[in-house]
Chains A and B, each alone.
Chain A
Amino acid sequence: EIVMTQSPLSLPVTPGQPASISCKSSQSLLHSDGKTYLYWYLQKAGQPPQLLIYEVSNRFSGVPDRVSGSGSGTDFTLKISRVEAEDVGVYYCLQMLDLPTFGQGTKVEIK
């Protein structure tokens, strides 16, 4: 099983300031097809998770460009350039190279 480790687990943020979440996998997520199967989700209170980023750095439809993903191999980062109130929730990374596994989640809240 590929283990996904996120940090921090809690992230108080000031509106307008940047935020960054790290996700590390226990093995490389690079497939032989050249794709890296790393995804980011946001789960707002009382809602199902929503897809933000697919294959490391591709924004899903409707995701604002202040949200970005980067990384390679085993180290990945989700960045929000300027946090807004609507960004509050729990962020999860997900690997789909093998049987899918999620990170523990990072709770983002407004200071």
Chain B
Amino acid sequence: QVQMVQSGAQVKKPGASVMVSCKASGYRFTTFSITWIRQAPGQGLAWMGWISAYNGATNYAPNLQGRVTMTTDTSTSTAYMELRSLRSDDTAMYYCTRGGQLGYDYWGQGTLVTVSS
């Protein structure tokens, strides 16, 4: 069965960087994209960007351009999201999700990133 397993919660100081991983299993990794979505505490869902696991092409949300980088390691079927110059309003649950013809069909369990001095 398809599974997306994310790395654990992290606490970071303002200005630092964070990297979250997402290991996929149960399907051919390179045939789907990986999208990252975040959710601030008590808030709605915000699309962060997308990476093709086939060729590494990316598309980022305009408000995150220059601060976010998404990568994949096809040898381990793992996707990574790095967010730099962290601010307090980056405190959120970060989700990876598989993207395909059905939309975002399988999701990771979420990774809580807390930015606090």
Contacts and interface: CB of A to CB of B under 8 A. Distances in A.
Contacts of A50: 107
A76 interface: no
Interface string A11-53: 0000000000000000000000000010101010000111100
Which of A37, A49, A96, A103 has the largest count of B CB atoms less than 10 A from its CB?
Answer: A49
Interface stretch (B10-18, B24-32, B40-48): B40-48
B107 A102 contact: no
Nearest to A104: B44
B105 A60 contact: yes
Interface residues of B, number: 18
A68 B45 CA distance: 22
Interface string A56-74: 0010100000000000000
Interface string B60-83: 011000000000000000000000
B46 A54 contact: no
A40 B95 CA distance: 17
A48 B109 contact: yes
A49 B103 contact: no
Contacts of B45: 41, 43, 49, 92, 94, 102, 105
Which of B44, B59, B108, B110 has the largest count of A CB atoms less than 10 A from its CB?
Answer: B44
Nearest to B62: A99
B44 A51 contact: no
B95 A48 contact: yes
Given A48-B95, A48-B110, A99-B61, A92 B103 contact: no
B58 to A, nearest CB: 13
B104 interface: yes
Interface of B: 35, 44-47, 59, 61-62, 95, 97, 102-105, 107-110
